[in-house]
Structure 1
Amino acid sequence: MQLIWFRSDLRLHDNTALAAACAQGPTVAVYLLSPQQWLSHDDAPSKVDFWLRNLKELSQALKALHIPLLIRDSATWADAPQVLLELCQKHGIEQLHCNEEYGVNESARDAAVADALAEAGIGFTAHLDQLLFKPGSVLTKSGTYFQVFSQFRRVCYERLHHSLPALVQKPALQKPLRITADPVPTGVTGYTPPTSALQALWPAGEAEAQERLEQFTDQRIDDYKTERDLPARPGTSQLSAYLAAGVISVRQCLHAAVASNRGEFESGSVGAVTWVSELIWREFYKHILVGYPRVSKHRAFRPEYEAVPWRDAPEDLQAWKEGRTGIPIIDAAMRQLVEIGWMHNRLRMLTAMFLSKNLLIDWREGERFFMQHLIDGDLAANNGGWQWSASSGTDSVPYFRVFNPVSQSAKFDPQGVFLKQWVPELAKLSAKDIHNPPLQGGLFATVDYPPPIVDLGKSRQRALTAFKNLPRHV
């Protein structure tokens, strides 16, 4: 008997570990509920709910193949070795299969499970699935992990030109087992379910993920390079939550993009080329997670940035979290995040840079708040993005580059469509004034909106001074 341990790979199709398990014999599946661990990782209620809804869909799909899905409680990952060992012994499991996960806690968990099973004579095999290339296989000539994205991408492209990673076939129907599947819970302790409106924005299941992928590659991918920067337009794939939960694979995304671009990924449609590059960014940050484990431990990738004199400004931090900074594009973005569990990527950069540069508040405060609300929360991508914006990360923006949120707002939402949706108290302002509302008199007197909590020019200079005076700024 084989055991497939599902984690962030909640799909039937193109699932490496599932296919490998089923190829070796009768297979049973398991999923561990670990609410205390999830809370310690700041996983958002919307994200946990999304996992459970997708798990329910997966259970039904597995049932059609006579693969029962068992649900076990493992409050923290420290409990996982014993829980899985008992399950394996109960059902005579010979081999446990899973897909690799990355991060120091995930690696420690899997090593402990492997050791516990080995002592009992039970095999443990972790498969490459979440990435196109195994961490440690894309290295510099000196044998180290890349720190510059363009160099990393060049090596990845060289390998992709040789061959694209193949898609894995869906498992065949197996003979029924005398094991009854467990019901998938609708919630777990410590997490309040999100609103039905939020759930409706993110339907569960592989069919939904596949439909989104097909619509994007068929209709919008060619315009992705320009449309992705416009928060009022549906220019992105809206697949990030499905990728984070493994409801769709990066291989499926890559194959679809290449197919839409006549077999090319480095030439042809600029939109398709840009989107594939974004998939490689995702890959890059996960390799960084493995190669430089300090980023999993709330540490700056660039050690000199541990010395930034961050401000202790709880009122400013709270205003940022609640979308009442007085900077419309920042407030609109933060309100979007809290209400729908997602934020447009350019706005993630703007809000992160505003917090870490204009407010000079530790990027880790923002990283944590994002994880606590993002339905697509991913440690590697979230940490990578925040450290990029704060200039403390790998291949990050130079410390002296600080986006001006007002000019960015006027450039990417010129008519204020996005602003009016999320900051309705400004809806009556003109397309010019809505990006930077007048402080007194006129139309401003009719709206209930606060003045800016910080002067953008002065705060930018404050950040430049703080970063420039670091012991080893670069």
Structure 2
Amino acid sequence: MRTLIWFRNDLRIEDNPAVHAAARRGTEGTLGVFFITPAQWNRHGWGSPKVSFMLDCLKSLNHELESHGIPLIVRSVPHFSDISGVIHHLAERYQCDEVHVNQDVGIDETNRDTLVSEFLSQHDIKMVSHEGNSILPPKLIRTGTGGPFSVYTPFRKKWELHLREAGLPDPRPLQVHTRLKPLREPLPHTISEFPDWEHRSRWQGGSKAAEKRFNQFLEEPIEDYHTNRDYPAIDGTSSLSPWLASGTFSSRTGIRTLIKKHGLDFDSWPQGPRTWLNEIIWREFYRHVMVSFPALSRDEPLQKWTELVPWRDDPHSFTAWCEGRTGVDIVDAGIHQMLQTGWMHNRVRMIAAMFLTKNLLIDWRLGERFFARHLVDYDFASNNGGWQWAASTGTDAAPYFRIFNPERQTENWDSEHAYLETWLPRAPGSLEPIVDLSRSRQQAIDAFKTARTEYEHDNTKIPALFTPALASA
């Protein structure tokens, strides 16, 4: 039998169930394929940082596959809907009986896989799905009544219980194939629809770079992760998010490493590793939510009543936020960090998101789309979950009346202004804020309170589906 691996957001060979299964089944050889889908990526809001990093990861993947005798084919089609015919042609050409994939979350991805699977089935080619992008399958953890979780803490407890009972065994060694010769197809460095990212050299794509970063994290930062992760000027986080988003690093690999060191009694772990585990479970939680509530993939909030919030149509303020010139220093510093590096410290992401959605009362979907365009670690489930948390519209959302004060956040986490001085292109305090923090906070609370009251009185007043314009900043 000959098999085909269809790579998506899983650009690695180690700890990759689809790769291992296809290589084991492919007694006559195994090939890999990756589809570049520019129109689809653009529709999903991707930007040059994510695309550039993914193309670099693709080159690294190609080298890894070659060393195991697995040729990689790269094809470009505009949309997901164009994949069925091409992948069928490749399977027929190379006489592949099975196509192996790791499951994706998201409604478009799910529909794509259903269409491709049905099309291949009509031609006697089997598509085999595996769980390779989460530690536990997103639909596995359920409430006592069999429904999905919408609150993190009970999800985490049940997730940990299941992992403690099931364990996390090592993956089987990957077989090396010798039956197929490398194709030596040139891989694209750029694609015309996404200009080459000028800060591309800041991030090295591929599994080797991810492994190096993870090992650096294990050497020291993880021990103090629980305290240092909130200080944006300190290199206190793993910074693995770009590799996790592209699938060049598996969260399963990371947690398995910690289990081998600390065991399966998670409550007995040192605080640093324990806190990092919690953050990985947040990632698992957001994937669980995406699968369980498909409407989130259509720009809908989980909390339906928040569709009645009177978001302000204020292009001037939104542009100021996008360009890092709101006069609120920590917000502006975070935006400049993202525009220059493709990455923003997580606490600053929360501060910037809450300022936009509460103090400026601008729709969270505009901020979500802006982040998607500029983040090298853009991941739909995590980005959507984070924005809905900040805007009080989603799962486990911050109560609408609990609003971060950016000045107090700066005092708590950047009191010496080390972060501000690194990323702010002006002296701290030199630009007048575009909004009064106290007054705008109260206006936001009043707006949310009124929306909730209106919904409780008449829940048929939900407006038409929101279609945000993409920010060009």
Counterpart contact for 1:310–1:362, Cα < 8 Å = yes
Matched, 1:125 2:128: yes
The residue that corresponds to 2:33 in the other structure is 30
Alpha-carbon separation, structure 1, partners of 2:258 and 2:275: 10
- Following TM superposition, by how much is the alpha carbon of 1:263 offset from its aligned partner in structure 2, in angstroms? 5.5
Q: 1:74-109 CA distances to partner (integer Å, 9 max, x unpaired)?
A: 211010111111111111110000100000000000
Q: 1:166-190 CA distances to partner (integer Å, 9 max, x unpaired)?
A: 2323422112315624221001121
Q: 1:185-221 CA distances to partner (integer Å, 9 max, x unpaired)?
A: 00112111112xx323211221111111111122111
**Alignment of structure 1 residues 57-136 onto 2, 5 Å:** 57-136=60-139
Matched, 1:452 2:430: no
Matched, 1:174 2:187: no
The residue that corresponds to 1:205 in the other structure is 206
Alpha-carbon separation, structure 2, partners of 1:264 and 1:380: 28
The residue that corresponds to 2:463 in the other structure is none
- Following TM superposition, by how much is the alpha carbon of 1:260 offset from its aligned partner in structure 2, in angstroms? 4.5
SS at match of 2:220: helix
Counterpart contact for 1:467–1:473, Cα < 8 Å = no
Q: Which runs of 5+ in 1 are unaligned?
A: 427-433, 438-448
The count of aligned residue pairs is: 452
Alpha-carbon separation, structure 2, partners of 1:312 and 1:133: 41
**Alignment of structure 1 residues 38-437 onto 2, 5 Å:** 38-178=41-181, 180-195=183-198, 198-261=199-262, 264-426=265-427, 434=428, 437=429
Q: 1:239-261 CA distances to partner (integer Å, 9 max, x unpaired)?
A: 00000000010111111233444
SS at match of 2:209: helix
Counterpart contact for 2:138–2:284, Cα < 8 Å = no
Q: Which amino acid aligns with 1:215?
A: Q
Instruction: State TM-score, norm by structure 2.
Output: 0.93
Q: 1:272-318 CA distances to partner (integer Å, 9 max, x unpaired)?
A: 11100110000000010010011110001111111110000000000
Change (3 A) 1:420 1:260: farther
Counterpart contact for 1:14–1:170, Cα < 8 Å = no
Instruction: State TM-score, norm by structure 1.
Output: 0.93
Cα RMSD for the two superposed structures? 1.4
The residue that corresponds to 1:442 in the other structure is none
The residue that corresponds to 2:465 in the other structure is none
Change (3 A) 1:186 1:194: same
Q: Which amino acid aligns with 2:254?
A: C
Q: Which amino acid aligns with 1:416?
A: H
Counterpart contact for 1:216–1:237, Cα < 8 Å = yes
Q: Which runs of 5+ in 2 are unaligned?
A: 458-473
The residue that corresponds to 1:462 in the other structure is 443
Alpha-carbon separation, structure 2, partners of 1:262 and 1:78: 45
Q: Which amino acid aligns with 1:468?
A: K
SS at match of 2:267: coil
Counterpart contact for 1:70–1:181, Cα < 8 Å = no
Alpha-carbon separation, structure 2, partners of 1:331 and 1:167: 44
Counterpart contact for 2:356–2:362, Cα < 8 Å = yes
- Following TM superposition, by how much is the alpha carbon of 1:450 offset from its aligned partner in structure 2, in angstroms? 2.8
Tell me which moved more, 179-188 or 458-467: 179-188
